[in-house]
Structure 1
Amino acid sequence: DVSSSPAHRGVGKTTLVMRVLETLRSSHLHLAVRGFYTREVRENGERVGFEVVTLDGRSGPLASSRIRSPESVRWPTVGKYKVDVASLESLALPELQVKEDTDLFIIDEVGKMELFSPAFFPAVMRVMESNIPVLATIPLPRYGRDIPGVARLRNHPGADVFTLNTGNRDTMRESIYNQLSRLMQKR
């Protein structure tokens, strides 16, 4: 079962995920959570990239507009950003291993950058096929075009999709919290 929050960048998906997680942790002691989130990297107020952060606090680059290393020439590009697939995989893939003692997975986000990793989507699907609750974020389709992997998650039979916008953040937070609490009680 999954709760996914599609929305455009900058609407507050990561903030919402972290607040839901905080509330879950305070109401479910000893909660075993695995996963990661992405956050912006800014220099002088300008976004210059993104990093992957595991829930135990380890972090590394996901994408950068400033990287100029010899190996980055071959890296995939999204807009002005070069995507560091190896860094993503070294941090995110171990967090996506299905283990029975896990109560909840956080996957923020499954988007274009993350899907450049050939191992990432299969790992996400293994998590989805487990009976462990998942809170994942996905981007909304742009210009009517969906990213194929994202579409598969959105249409997954166990998925409950909550669409986030600036006007519904508080009610969404409560709905997602309630849904995840119910799913965790069923286990």
Structure 2
Amino acid sequence: MGKFLFLKGDSGEGKTTLLFECLKPWHKIMGGFYSQRLLNEDGMTMGFRMVPADEEWIPAAAYKKGLSNIFIQRTEHGFQKNLQFFKTDGMEILRSSAQSRLCLLDEIGGVELFAPEFMEEVLCRIDSQIPCIGVLKSHKNLQSMRTRVPTEPDPDKLLRELEEKLEKRSNGRILTFDREKKEHIRAEIKEFLRECTEKEGKEPHDGKGLDL
């Protein structure tokens, strides 16, 4: 069984920014995904899409018609979720990470909670031999999302159940992100990566070595 480390905290605090900074030397050997915010010319959020972790890391990008892997999209009727995506292309992105050395899950605990097949695959990734690292949506962020995106009843219950499943596993941790503790958390992430490296006895082959 592998290991996992998740960050949890309020939106806009810098969780993903810190995570990407720490993971930059590992980019070429990572599988999994990250959630990309899509913005129009006025800076308005138009939706979110899932991007495979082995592609360029751009947390916020310009919205364009025809983009693939969009799971939340703004329409004339407000934001709409696309759960079918998680059952098809989302599953393929997750399964393709099976041959990677690290798996990025940034983030989990949002609308995908209503796609049980996808969530089962997430847990399979976490229980695999490949270390997983990422962001877990906080309850506050989930409630905020509900004010904009239609959801099935009681998503908070589903998020609590996910947290309980993770907490029962002895092979990982969930760190609560706090800007005042940023450097401490940075050290925790780097230590996690060191442990993963030492276990394999390898380093990322990016030609530059590790800057840990």
TM-score normalised by structure 1 residue count:
0.77
Which blocks of at least 5 consecutive residues in structure 2 are unaligned?
A: 57-67, 144-155, 201-212
Gaps of 5+ in 1: 26-30, 69-79
Please tell me the residue identity of whatever aligns with 1:20.
C
The match for 2:32 is: 35
Judge conservation of contact 1:51–1:61 (CA < 8 Å) in 2.
yes
- More displaced, 129-138 or 84-93? 84-93
Letter aligned with residue 15 of structure 1: T
Q: 1:86 and 2:87 equivalent?
A: no
- Aligned residue pair count: 170
Whole-angstrom CA distance in 2 between matches of 1:67 and 1:91: 25
Residue 104 of structure 1: aligned partner: 102
TM-superposed CA distance for 1:172, in Å, is 1.6
Tell me the distance in 2 between the aligned counterparts of 1:9 and 1:104.
24
Match of 2:164 among 128, 141, 151: 151
Match of 1:74 in 2: none
Q: Deviations over 1:129-164 (max 9, x none)?
A: 112110021122348x55122432244321122211
Q: In structure 1, what is the equivalent of residue 135 of structure 2?
A: 137
1:117 to 115, 118, 137: 115
The separation in 2 between residues aligned to 1:183 and 1:125, in whole angstroms, is 19
CA separation of 1:140/1:99 partners in 2, compared to 1, >3 Å: closer, same or farther?
closer
Corresponding residue SS for 1:64: strand
TM-score normalized by the length of structure 2 = 0.69
Residue 14 (structure 1) aligned to one of 13, 16, 22: 16
Alpha-carbon separation, structure 2, partners of 1:83 and 1:34: 24
Q: CA deviation at 1:46?
A: 1.9
| Residue 165 of structure 1 pairs with residue 175 of structure 2 | no
Higher helix share: 2
RMSD, matched Cα: 2.6
Give % identity: 21
